[in-house]
Structure 1
Amino acid sequence: MTGFDPVHPPARELLDDCVHCGFCLPTCPTYQLWGEEMDSPRGRIYLMDLAERGEIGLEGPFTEHLDACLGCMACVTACPSGVRYDQLLEATRPQIERNVRRGRADRWFRNAIFSLFPYRRRLRAAAVFGVAYQKSGLPKLLGKVLPARLAAAQGLLPPVRLRDAFAPLPRVVPAQGTKRRRVAMLSGCVQDVFFHQANLATLRVLAAEGCEVLVPRDQGCCGALGLHAGREEHAVTKAKRTIETFGGLDVDAVVVNVAGCGSSMKEYAHLLADDPQWSDRAKAFSAEVQDITEFLAGLEPVARRHPIEAKAAYHDACHLGHAQGIRNEPRTLLRTIPGLEVTDLPDAEICCGSAGIYNLVQPDAAAELGRRKADNIRAVGPDLLVTANPGCLLQIGKQLDGELPMMHPVQLLDLAIRGLGLGG
């Protein structure tokens, strides 16, 4: 007897790897917030174990405690036994989505998220309404009366320039000087609409470092939001389309400047492992995927960096540091800029509260984690904040409220190469 259906339930051998030592507890954001055992990684693994044995169902407390998990994977980094909590969580969340009927309001809100964010055209239309909404004065009037989730969504709206939201990226960017590499770039969904300047900076830096860049016109969502939220069918569909779009290109790498997207694309081999028509293609594709900082750190710099005299606080995006194990590369890249001081944050391993759609569906916990992260940023007294994920920029930006410039590492590198300084 088991509480899970037979479609890829959490594996018994992975559940048995946990010895309940507690090394994960200091790094778990929700355990730090509430001190509740069932809101720690080992507690959630215990719940999975009970469900796998058929001793508890998935309704009620099981789903509540699993929903409260950010999926930040700090516990994977901390675990001395090598417990693959990431694989356990990504096996469990689809079980919940298939077998637990959520309340009407929760279903509506989650469906609305997945009807909007994975689609650039819809995001662009939403950007038009967002700009009008921000200019109308309604955010101040409605901010205190909206339900918590809608208020959280309103607070995360970034300032958007419609010119950027609708601007197309060039399909081919030639290398400057001697061509050293040929790469393809994922432009992203939220990234391309709301952080278009980060994409342009990525193209300029790659070209300056001798890379020809292809930006496929027909690319779409990579499936990251669905994968991390347990919407397995959504993730599989988007993964196959992404592989079809990029898989046939003659490139040295597929570069990604969004930590959450890169993490998911590197997991395609696991996601499609049981599909005989796609498993080999997925494995080959995942091997080509590199975060932009990972890729650039592996290239000997050729573009001159002009000095930027500033102190930059670097925030490790969870899906870059914990999920992909990329920590040194962004710092190494930033330290190629003369005059730039790169400083780390206190409690750097603790998530900022963004975590895919977490800051929308769990707004109170996300807000508290965001406030803690903002306080830790203020504590080091930086001139700017640098992080490699748009979700983190939105989440932390909400708490800092314009106190500091914030940007992707590649944007700062772009300013240094172009000699523009922080004012550029």
Structure 2
Amino acid sequence: MTAEHIGQGPPGIDPELIDTCVHCGFCLPTCPTYQLWGEEMDSPRGRIHLMGQHVEGTPVTPEMAGHFDACLGCMACVTACPSGVRYDRLIEQARAEVEREHRRPPSDRAFRELVFRLFPYPRRLRALRLPLRLTEGLRRRLAPLLGRIDARLGAMADLAPPITPRVRLPRLVDARGPRRARVGLLTGCVQGEFFPQVNAATARVLALEGCDVVIPPGQGCCGALSVHSGRPEEAARFARRTIETFERAGVDTVVVNAAGCGSTTKEYAELLADDPAWQVRAKGLRFTDLAEYLAELGPAAERHPLDVTVAYHDACHLAHAQGVRAQPRALLNGIPGVRLVEIAQSDICCGSAGTYNLFQPEAARQLGDRKAAQVAATGADLLVSANPGCTMQIAAALRRGGARPIPVAHTAQVLDASLRGLPVSALTAAR
């Protein structure tokens, strides 16, 4: 099987991709789990060695599955690798092998089934909004107790964000001033239901910069959670639906404001490689990150000053998967009064990694606490993140740390406040 056949092709791990690894060890300092435990088999190099054993005939054992499960899929190793090893492809293939061959314990199977029957479905997430809002204080108090019963349940209670009022977006937001472009907006699952204010800010910013923004109703999951968890067939179904949605909307460029969704949608052509007709349709759409798109478009609207110190967090699926690092910083630096400060070890994952902080809560908690301490050390008034999972993960860790509360906002919200001349308090108010 070649690298192009990760979508629905014959099962297996591509031996040619395995052979590109020369076991040099450049990946080791960048790997979060190797930093935590110092175990070779919990490094990219070690996991590739296990993949090679499996290709040569070793079955997927519980121990082997555990090492693959412990990987965050953050792709920092891909950035660091001098040999161009496609570890991102390899770990997706390995996880698909685990799902095909490995029989998990009943409790693990049940919890995974709960996650994958809930999070990719916006309507099901929407049904949780009222219960979560009514029980917010109770959840915070019960999270440690639930964690003693099952760490995964404690993580779910701890991570759920404060529920803000729903925002109903129109199907079309007209450009303000001269029309420069027409784009679609991917609203996402967690982003759309738990952070609707981010989607609203994104639409306003694009409109203020001269874009007609098409927001198709009834959007579903893009497939990110599935493709990163060894469920490529499920991911492909979500991908087809997303492609159809924006084809019907009549746009050829789709703006994405969640890092994990952005990296997956950009790879639709690879995911659907075994179906030439769908691959062509996937290539007919351009999916682009918000900061990436705005940087290309160039500023048109006036930036009003914001007197605020901002720490920018690099989401792994934005920095490593998409190579989008400079653009968000340039957008923030382009706002008068904004003082941008860097977070130490910014390339190391915060521990969110899609569903990782639910399936591997202990490791995720350690990484989250480390990231929260590094954020607090910046002295920033505001943390800016471009991924809902990172926002929930770091916000929960900051709460646990008991230090000065630092609100978390999306890049779109900071730009929105500047373009509309809102006060800094609109961003730094406790959430």
1:39 to 42, 67, 74: 42
1:129 to 123, 128, 131: 131
Q: Which amino acid aligns with 1:143?
A: P
Map 1:300-319 to 2 at 5 A.
300-319=298-317
Following TM superposition, the consecutive aligned residue runs of length 4 or more in structure 1 with deviations greater than 4 angstroms are none
Q: Which amino acid aligns with 1:25?
A: L
Q: Look up the match of 1:364.
A: 362
TM-superposed deviation, 1:249: 3.9
CA distance in 2, matches of 1:115, 1:259: 22
CA distance in 2, matches of 1:197, 1:153: 22
Q: Which amino acid aligns with 1:206?
A: L
The 8 Å contact of residues 186 and 256 in structure 1, kept in 2 or not, is answered as yes
Q: Which amino acid aligns with 2:183?
A: V
Distance 1:181 1:267, change over 3 A: same
Q: Find the residue that maps to 2:96 and give its secondary structure.
A: helix
CA distance in 2, matches of 1:337, 1:421: 13
TM-superposed deviation, 1:421: 2.6
Equivalenced residue count is 413
The 8 Å contact of residues 181 and 252 in structure 1, kept in 2 or not, is answered as no
Over the aligned positions, Cα root-mean-square deviation in angstroms equals: 1.4
The 8 Å contact of residues 20 and 85 in structure 2, kept in 1 or not, is answered as yes
TM-superposed deviation, 1:142: 5.7
Map 1:299-378 to 2 at 5 A.
299-378=297-376
Q: Look up the match of 2:247.
A: 247
Q: Which amino acid aligns with 1:140?
A: R
Q: Find the residue that maps to 1:241 and give its secondary structure.
A: helix
Q: Find the residue that maps to 2:115 and give its secondary structure.
A: helix
Distance 1:147 1:268, change over 3 A: same
Map 1:4-403 to 2 at 5 A.
7-54=10-57, 56-135=58-137, 137=138, 139-141=140-142, 143-144=144-145, 145-161=148-164, 163-164=165-166, 167-285=167-285, 288-401=286-399, 403=405
Which deviates the most, 350-359 or 219-228?
219-228
CA distance in 2, matches of 1:138, 1:182: 42
CA distance in 2, matches of 1:67, 1:26: 19
| Residue deviations 1:177-208 (CA, integer Å, cap 9, x gap) | 10000000001111111101001100110010
Q: Which runs of 5+ in 1 are unaligned?
A: none
CA distance in 2, matches of 1:103, 1:283: 40
TM-superposed deviation, 1:120: 1.1
Q: Which amino acid aligns with 2:215?
A: V
TM-superposed deviation, 1:381: 1.2
| Residue deviations 1:312-344 (CA, integer Å, cap 9, x gap) | 101100000000110011111111100111122
TM-score by length of 1: 0.95
Q: Which amino acid aligns with 1:160?
A: I
The 8 Å contact of residues 149 and 361 in structure 1, kept in 2 or not, is answered as yes
TM-superposed deviation, 1:284: 2.5
CA distance in 1, matches of 2:248, 2:9: 34
CA distance in 2, matches of 1:73, 1:142: 30
CA distance in 2, matches of 1:89, 1:269: 18
TM-superposed deviation, 1:146: 3.4
| Residue deviations 1:249-301 (CA, integer Å, cap 9, x gap) | 4335100000000110011111111113312112223xx10001100011121
Which deviates the most, 398-407 or 103-112?
398-407
Q: Find the residue that maps to 1:277 and give its secondary structure.
A: helix
CA distance in 1, matches of 2:140, 2:325: 37
Q: Which runs of 5+ in 2 are unaligned?
A: 1-7, 427-431
Q: Which amino acid aligns with 1:301?
A: P
The 8 Å contact of residues 158 and 394 in structure 1, kept in 2 or not, is answered as yes
Q: Find the residue that maps to 2:312 and give its secondary structure.
A: strand
